[in-house]
Structure 1
């Protein structure tokens, strides 16, 4: 009954337990009660494929942005450049990407909780297939621990160089993990993985040509903020997930609960104000 489920158009189909599932069939075809648990699993995998695809976009932009800054750094090596680039990308990851990954993981767990054996409650064993893609979303938060291993000091430029390369290395690692975790389950619609980066660069160059002075990192931060707000609306609230601003937990509406569009945007603004100032 929520419109967002008809807009998960980045996945052709998913494969789970050697069977293929198309989203439109899962949504539109009436399901006998004996197959309800299978449908929940398949929908959860579809949702996971969609979420990690979004994260793939995020980290590819991080990688491209850091590479862009490396080129600029080679042209104009300065202590201020290294500090500015590092701090801005840390802000993007800490304030934008990590909270969004947590929200997506919680949504997967909420959907999976309908199953009589929720993945979140199954202890993971080596080489088993339980808890697909949700752990990957959780691992994104590990970058906070990595960045906390050293204290940044503007008097020691090498602490910033270390943080810069830590972000770059971690981002590449997440991209590899996404590829590994999705290969067996997700059949994505073919597309240019760097399309979002190319769109943003084109927009930035257009602005610069109009003689508007806009620092690239400020532009990038603004684009991340706007894009993530759209992602949360389309891939969280419009899928029917609710966010409790007091407990910061994700939950599903009760059966028959009315869909209220205005409340969705109100909570989105509250969530954005909390994390994305």
Structure 2
């Protein structure tokens, strides 16, 4: 009798294992992912060396090269979400550097001329609005991919989707700025201080996700910051430098447009401007071997999208100016992804010294 019970339990366990392992993703979702990777933008992603997922390191080729089948689809979807999230993390590290440097430049202008400082603050707010719109596109793209997983990351209780905390803080900062009365009589220093506090928190959250999942290409992180470094090279700070501030701002806003094209549009994602949804176009579904419920093909929604997104990003007449690159602590770090999520992470230092950073900053005093 005991022997029969053991055999029954073993048979039951075997059936559970077989059922679990055979339960892959749908052919429809596999086709969507395979077709998504046909977009040329995926081959041009250069910011990430590899990502760490399920104790394995995956580079871009290992994710997009082999055709996706139901048995591997969920793993590929999760790896894609992480890889794209790491790419966005690299971009955001560049962007928060730029924002903080613009904030410092704006403070210097304000100390010399309050009116010019007020105008500089307005330009900073304009740039933050565009950055927030880009952050929403990033978040929407990640959700659009993850929605294809059998157990989407955003529905899990224990772990949140990569960059969720950082992007949520961007959205919260934008809400604070939108609800804050702003005029020439308002203390601009209070606004700049609020931006500083939020950017510091955002940077911290980005770095935590990077250290969990990402090994970034060090030379490709601070692309925009380095462009601004060239723009501001060897200038002597005075009231006339507002023109450099304005020129830097044009560079930032132009670069945001290019980043959206390269890391959103060219990857195959689209925005429904009427309802703010980010989705993978249905034309990528291909010819499916399964009859699926059409309701499953609906695009992945992104929470609260600005109606004025196209106006903010595409209208050149409303683009305004910004920034001075100062290189902070994380520019001196090597951002490394460890094998497990719960390990302690270390950041190695680069050759850029604090002395060099101080010398660079001092050239604007």
TM range (shorter): 0.7 to 0.9
Q: Over alpha carbons, which structure has the higher Rg? A: 2
CA spacing shift, 1:123–1:28, aligned 2, 3 Å: closer
Q: Secondary structure at the match of 1:114?
A: coil
State the partner residue of 1:154: 184
Q: Kindly tell me: are residues 11 and 248 of structure 1, through their superposed partners in 2, closer, same or farther at Cα, counting changes over 3 Å?
A: same
- Corresponding residue for residue 194 of structure 2: 166
| Aligned equivalent of 1:144 | 174
Displacement, 1:181?
1.6
Contact 1:105 1:138 in 2 (8 A): no
Q: Does residue 42 of structure 1 match 2:76?
A: no
Q: CA–CA distance in 2 between the matches of 1:233 and 1:189?
A: 20
**RMSD value over aligned CA atoms?**
2.8
Equivalent-residue separation in structure 2 for 1:15 and 1:154 (angstroms): 49
Give me the whole-angstrom Cα distance separating, in 1, the residues matched to 2:50 and 2:60. Answer: 7
Answer whether contact 1:229 1:272 (CA < 8 A) is retained: no
Unaligned 5+ residue runs, structure 1? 259-270
Report the TM-score when normalising by structure 1: 0.81
Deviation, 1:150, is 3.8
What's the counterpart of residue 244 of structure 1? 272
* Aligned counterpart for 1:222 among listed residues 250, 257, 266: 250
Q: Which residue of 2 aligns with 1:106?
A: 140
- Within-5 A mapping of 1:181-196: 181-191=209-219, 193-196=221-224
2: CA distance, partners of 1:169 / 1:135: 15
Contact 1:56 1:178 in 2 (8 A): yes
- Cα pair distance change 1:48/1:207, threshold 3 Å: same
Q: Does 1:65 align with 2:99?
A: no
Aligned residue pairs, count: 254
CA distance in 1, matches of 2:183, 2:309: 29
Q: Please, which of 58, 61, 79 is the counterpart of residue 21 of structure 1?
A: 58
Cα deviation code 1:4-56 (max 9, x no counterpart): 11111111110112222111011112344211100100000001111121111
Q: Which runs of 5+ in 2 are unaligned?
A: 1-37, 287-307, 319-365
